[in-house]
Amino acid sequence: ASLMGGIVGIWRTGNLTGDIKANQNTVILRDSEISTTEDITEDIVGGIIIDNKIDGYVGNASADYNKVEIDGSNIEGNIIGGKNEIGQANYNSVIIKNGSFVEGDIVAGWAENNIVKGNSIEINGDNNLTYGNLVGYIGEDKNITHLDNKLVINDFSSAIQTVKSFDKIVFNDVQWNINPKFVVKTDKYGNEYYSGNGGIFALSDISNIGNIEIANIGKTDLKVDDRTYLIFAFDVNNNKQELEKLANINGGKVENYSGVAKVVSLKMDYKEKHIDGLNINLPSLSAVVTGVERNKQVDLVAKNRAVAAAFVNQGTDLIADSLDTLSRDGKYGVKTFAAVHGNRSKYDVNSDIKINGWSTIVGVGAENEHNGGDFSWGVFYENGSGNYRTYNDFNNEFFRGDGSLVYNGGGIAARYENSHGVYTEGSLRAGMLKSEMTDALSDGENKYGYESETAYYGAHIGVGKIFSLGDDSDLDVYGKFFHTYTEGDSFNVAGDEFEFDSINSDRLRIGARITSNKENKFSTYYGLAYEYEFNGDADMTAQGLKAPTQSLQGSSVMAEIGFNYQPTPTSPWSFDLNMRGYAGERQGGSFNVQATYTF
């Protein structure tokens, strides 16, 4: 008798058409005992299609996505993930874990013809496979297509009788820089087996292996010349020649992506290695680190960080603009004000990142006469939100990510203009900046985003003089200095640690603005300004490796046009519309709309 998760049996002669499926079946044996002699069990199969005899068949026969899981069990018999006697057997799996004992053939995928791909055998932890024969794929047709059938080794370093016909063997969480040792142990069923501290041990046959992959090494701080042992074998059959072949595939070079942050270059190495415990020399295959570098895809995270800081900087512009507007209507009294700032900006740190954003400021203040001049002040709440798209690549795969920025804060601002038109102004602000990304990074199998939240603090000071050009026009010449400090942060992406340094931004703006038609309901103004960013450096390390500094430093020029509307000379309302264009380090455009009400 056999134990099967799903079976399709065909007992007929003649033509047959249509789809035949034995898919998505699961067999789980947990804490079980199965003996061939006692239970007369031949096979344990996830899904199988059995062909008695078909003279002609037209259709699609699939034994796909079946699973057999052996959990803490003693099995004497053959285990097959999926078998198909007339078609394909794809993406079937056999999982062995928790101290199981298996004696017999263990086959991931078995197809008589067509294709066999994506099947796997996964070994987890300390199990006894000393009498197990592991086979990745079986195809009775010599022309069968086999792809990506793999043996996955998770923290397992014991003996296996036979390992053959795998497109690749994947080693997860290997041990580095150890002296390999194998000893004879007894499992919980009383069976003896070879147990080791690094690598698998092929006792009789290792053959027809396509390639070797080493995965999940992101948590290890690797250095050049570090070594891990992967496979040992007795020098029987063609074992030695198989290990020598694997050591020379692709010239022996393997480029391994460690998590999302590192690229680890490895070289396969074949040698005779003395094995402690057994006191013999065995043919061995090991991997040696030849280089550890930053994965360039992480540079995008540093670029996003710089652009996030620039977005917060733009909020300071809105504060300065609000001070200008508060004093523009010339009315004394308590004032409430609200402004909306929309912009689309691009920064030289990454020409592919364009931010679409909105910022708002609402507050209350006052304007009063003081020593022959005008003194205006306000306290405010500010909020900004932006979004952008990114494009990144990993191992020649290109993918799109989406980012969002939100800041919330508040502060105080004040301005004094004396009777000669000379004014000084300043502001203080503080808040929290939150940035989120989806699908920003990849490890080859999955896409990852991240989230960062940091505090920001800002201040600005400005001086200027307003020159009268006539009864209804004037010229405002000014210089303003803006400082913004954004705290550092750290976060984890796919097990890799990212650390942001703090960012200091120091900008100097020098400009001039002409206002005309001051005595009318509609007044207009035009301006030009030059701005220089002295700092704005965004530094980041990913898993201890420094990414290139992304800097906002550089020059920008700004041109503006604005309109101010006061319904009547006695109306408490005042409205202001401003539009700007930028070129240089910052490129793009923006507009502001502000309303002020004076009590």
Instruction: Give the pLDDT mean for 143-166.
Output: 93
What is the band of 357 on the pLDDT scale with cuts at 50, 70, 90? confident
What pLDDT is stored for residue 250 in this prediction? 82
What pLDDT is stored for residue 200 in this prediction? 94
Q: What percent of the chain has pLDDT over 70?
A: 92
pLDDT of 469-502, one tens digit each?
Answer: 887 889 999 999 999 999 999 999 988 899 999 9
Q: What's the gap between Cα 1 and its chain centre? A: 49
Q: Residue 14 above 70 pLDDT? A: no
Q: Do 264 and 258 contact (CB within 8 A), yes or no?
A: yes
Instruction: Give the pLDDT mean for 350-370.
Output: 82
Beta bridge partners of 359: 341, 384
* Least-confidence region, from 91-100, 359-368, 394-403: 394-403
* CA distances to 150, 163, 164 from 121, in Å: 7, 11, 12
Looking only at the bridges linking them, the beta strands covering 182-186 and 33-34 are unpaired
Give the 3-state secondary structure of 417-463. ECCCCEEEEEEEEEEEEEEEEEEEEECCCCEEEEEEEEEEEEEEEEE
What pLDDT is stored for residue 95 in this prediction? 98
3-state SS assignment for residue 245: helix
What pLDDT is stored for residue 245 in this prediction? 94
What pLDDT is stored for residue 597 in this prediction? 79
Query: Rounded to the nearest 5°, which phi and psi values hold at 313?
Result: -55, -35
Average of per-residue pLDDT values in the chain: 88
**How far, in Å, CA of 329 to CA of 523, rounded?**
10
Q: Do 146 and 167 contact (CB within 8 A), yes or no?
A: yes
What pLDDT is stored for residue 218 in this prediction? 66
* Least-confidence region, from 115-129, 211-225, 304-318, 338-352: 338-352
**How far, in Å, CA of 511 to CA of 531, rounded?**
8
Beta bridge partners of 529: 511, 558
* Least-confidence region, from 201-205, 209-213, 292-296, 461-465: 292-296
pLDDT of 42-88, one tens digit each?
Answer: 688 888 877 655 556 666 888 999 999 999 999 999 999 999 888 88
pTM given for the model: 0.74
- Tell me which residue has tokens 């150890």: 178
Instruction: Give the pLDDT mean for 448-471.
Output: 92
Looking only at the bridges linking them, the beta strands covering 150-154 and 168-172 are parallel
Q: Residue 351 above 60 pLDDT? A: no
Structural tokens at position 224: 């050049």
